[in-house]
Structures are given as C-alpha cells and as structure tokens.
Structure 1
Amino acid sequence: MQSGAPADVDAAAQRRRDILAGLVQGGVIAAVVLAGLYFFMGHRLQPGPAPAAPPAARPLAITAPAAPPMAIERRLDLGDVVAPADVTRVASWAVDAADNGNRAFVIVDKRRAQIYVFETGGRLIGTSPVLLGYAAGDRSVEGIGDRPIEQVQPHERTTPAGRFQSAPGRNTLNEDVVWVDYHAAVSMHRVRATNPAERRLERLATKTAADNRISWGCINVPVAFFDQTVWPHIGKGRGIVYVLPEKEPLTAFFPAAQQPRHYAQAGAAPGNSAKP
C-alpha cells in the first residue's frame, strides 16, 4: 500500500490541476465571451446621435396664375349730360376699345374748360369747369418741368393735350395732386386762391370758358369736386387722363377715336355745347 500511495497522490493532484486549468481556461473564455457580449450589447444600447429633424413644413413654391380681371360691363353712359361731339368721340372710343383697362378715366375739354370723370365701364360720374394753362396750345415746351416757375414765360404756360397715365402724389407744397404729365410738372389739383389778383374762384364761377385760362399749365379743379369726385376715383390709384387738343385736330392725338358707335344719353345726340 505504501509503495503505491505517491503515484495515487500524484495522479489525483494532476487531475485537480487539470480541472483547475480547465476551469481557469473556461473562465477566461467565458470572461472573453461575456466581455464581447457586454461590449456588443453596450454599443447597441448606447444612444447614438439624434437623427436630423425633418425640414419644417412649408407651402410648395407654386405660382398660381394671376386671376383674370373681373369682367366689366362697358357702355358709355352720359346720363342727362349733353356733351360736345369730340368729348363723346373720345369717351366712346375709350369704352369700346377698353383703352382705359380697369381704370377710371377723365376727359379734359380744353376748348370749353370742362372736366368729365368716368367710372371704368364708361358711366359718367360728374363734370365740372376747370382752370387751365394761360396760353393756348397743345404741347409743352421741352424741359419746362425742370425750370423754376419764375423762368416760365407767359406763352409757355400751356396745358398739353394727349393721353396720360395719371398717378396720385404730392407736390412741393405737400398738397394732394394727380400727376398728369410729371416730367412737364403738369398736375390736377384743388384750385388755389392765393393770389387775389388772379380771381381764380371768380373765373370758375362764370358761365363762360373765356376767362378760365390763368394757371401755369396745371388743371385747377374746384375743391368740392376734387375731394368728392376726382380724388376718390383717380387720386387713390392710377387712372387715364385724356386731354383734348384746342389748336390741333383731335386725330393728331387720338387717331383711333372715330365717330362714336353708341352712347346712352338723354335728349338729342351729342352736340357742340357743354352742359350749362
């Protein structure tokens, strides 16, 4: 028995060492596996960077087609006003041809010193006497709008004829005006009675147009008519102003204005006299 004990002891010790080595090796492997699992799962569980937020919602950049202009019934309607033939010719042409577009329009009859204001479709809103440029003539002197007023000669104080696209504005006195020909410094504004010697209010009150030539070229309108008729219709937006010639033929400025095809007016056909 004594002779075989060391061998048995050695064998048992070897088995223990083998088992321990196996456990150690297995533990190392397990540790490695667990560490890998921990690393893998930890990496998967860590919150990553937040995804970029989607762009804020916004309307698509689609340009809708412009709405068509509202249909306008066009018919010249002078009411009970018996207007001169040339006024009716230009008004009828403007309405028939829709020359004024969607804007109100004005006709200035220089021969009779009278203004006519129309709605877009051709209905006459009102008419009034006006004061005009001192000198008879249908054209402005070149560059007159750039000159100081004291340098304008009496024979140069004309109200030009033609078709003008008007625009509301203010003059150097900070007064409301309707610019007729801005470059020639011609506007439509309330009558000014700052110089008693000119008798502007008295001139407007007379029944004749012979004394209505006094301004530097601008169209002077009675205050009430300007405030109630002119400014509400062409003073708050753009309009068309037709100034009829007094020296040259009508067709020199309005070649398309033929004899009127239609009009609505009480009484007889248009004559050559303005409303009294």
Structure 2
Amino acid sequence: MADWVVNSGDNDGLPFVIIDKLRAKVFIFNKSGRLLGATLALLGKARGDDSTAGIGHEKLSAIGPDERTTPAGRFVAELGRDYEHGVLWVDYHDSIALHRVIRGTPGDHRFQRLATTSALDKRITYGCINVPIKFYDDVVLETFADTTGIVYILPDTKTIQEVFPKACSAEGVIGNGSLQTC
C-alpha cells in the first residue's frame, strides 16, 4: 500500500499514515515514503468499515457497541484539539482522531491492551485510534507539526477494492497476508 501511495502520488506530497486494522498497527511515513515509525494501536470496538451517520454529534454514552467502528478510507488529517487533548484529526466530522492512549473506563485496561501483541485485545475504543504516548509525542507530533497529511485506514470487513478502487486499478497493491488482493 505504501508503495502505491508514493508511486501514484496519492499522498499529494504530504506525510501519510497507514492503519492496518486487522493487525492493529499504525505506520507513519514521510512525504517520500520513508517509514518514520510503527506501533500497535487500539481501535474501534466494533468490526466494520463505515461510521454511523451523525455519530460525530452523539454523546459517547449514546453510542452503542456496534457503532464503535474505526472507518476505513482515505482521510486528510491535521493536528488539532478535542475537548481536552491534542489529537491528529482523521475525520473531524465523525469525531475520529489518532491520539495518545487514554485511560478510559477502569474496565477498559487500555494501557495493558496496548502492551499485548494480540490484535483481538486492541478493539476497545469508540472509533478513535489510540497509540502509545511516546509514539504520539515523538513521531506523530514531529511528522505533522507544520503540515496536514493523509491517513489510509485499511478495511477489516470490506475489500481493498471497495475502499481504495484507485489503488486496485494501478499496479503495486498485492495481498501480503494482511491485505486482501484487489
């Protein structure tokens, strides 16, 4: 996917992020496609690739477990703030951001989940992407400090072709065990 992004110029000369939901991993690249960092991440509790209509305007307490998805797709992202913290807004309209891991409710055990290697442990958020604090501070903030960027969130229920048809019409997107082939 990263090769396609760079070779096609789909990142518009901007740094970019690839989020592999199946493996619960985040990869951050500079505008030329050089990997700057990678980490495990926490993702939306529900499997699925679409946000529920109007979800960004709902109170967290009103969002049901089956609506807590991290949407798949291509997003233009920029640093900003939510109510309390700095975040990388992935989809401001639907309130999806990449940010430092937060404690959440006591039963979430987010810090412990983030420390495991099991992708199954990583499904706990309302849809946001939670990364380790040091990774956010050292890689995310450094990469996006003075620019916007592109975030590619790979699907976990749809096919790559449904979400990224341009990538599938070009050479270079090949299934690698994590991605479906086009």
Taking structure 1 as the reference length, what is the TM-score of the superposition? 0.61
Q: Does 1:202 align with 2:107?
A: no
- Shift of the 186–101 alpha-carbon distance from structure 1 to 2, 3 Å rule, reads same
Mapped to 2, the partners of 1:247 and 1:272 lie a distance apart of: 15
Aligned residue in 2 for 1:260: 172
Q: Does 1:138 align with 2:49?
A: yes
- Shift of the 137–194 alpha-carbon distance from structure 1 to 2, 3 Å rule, reads closer
- If asked which structure has higher relative contact order (CA below 8 Å, sep 6+), I would say 2
CA contact (8 A) 1:178 1:235 kept: no
1:105 aligned partner, one-letter code: F
Report matched runs for 1:26-65 at 5 Å. Answer: none
After TM superposition, give the deviation of residue 270 of structure 1 in Å.
Answer: 8.1
After TM superposition, give the deviation of residue 235 of structure 1 in Å.
Answer: 4.4
Q: Does 1:115 align with 2:26?
A: yes
Alignment gaps of 5+ in structure 2: none
- Shift of the 123–211 alpha-carbon distance from structure 1 to 2, 3 Å rule, reads same
Residue 93 of structure 1 aligns to a residue whose secondary structure is helix
Aligned residue in 1 for 2:38: 127
After TM superposition, give the deviation of residue 144 of structure 1 in Å.
Answer: 0.6
Root-mean-square deviation (Å): 1.8
After TM superposition, give the deviation of residue 120 of structure 1 in Å.
Answer: 0.4
After TM superposition, give the deviation of residue 167 of structure 1 in Å.
Answer: 1.2
Mapped to 2, the partners of 1:139 and 1:271 lie a distance apart of: 23
Taking structure 2 as the reference length, what is the TM-score of the superposition? 0.92
After TM superposition, give the deviation of residue 143 of structure 1 in Å.
Answer: 0.4
2:172 aligned partner, one-letter code: P
After TM superposition, give the deviation of residue 254 of structure 1 in Å.
Answer: 0.8
**Structure with a larger share of its residues in strand:** 2
Matched pairs, number: 177
Aligned residue in 2 for 1:190: 100
2:119 aligned partner, one-letter code: A
Segments of 4+ moved more than 4 angstroms: none
Q: Does 1:238 align with 2:148?
A: yes
2:9 aligned partner, one-letter code: A
After TM superposition, give the deviation of residue 196 of structure 1 in Å.
Answer: 2.8
After TM superposition, give the deviation of residue 194 of structure 1 in Å.
Answer: 4.2
Mapped to 1, the partners of 2:3 and 2:126 lie a distance apart of: 30
The percent identity for this pair of structures is 44
Aligned residue in 2 for 1:31: none
Q: 1:171 aligned to 67, 71, 82, which one?
A: 82
Mapped to 1, the partners of 2:20 and 2:141 lie a distance apart of: 19
Spell out, residue by residue over 1:241-264, the C-alpha distance to the aligned partner (whole angstroms, 9 max, x if none).
000000000011111224528xxx
CA contact (8 A) 1:105 1:234 kept: no
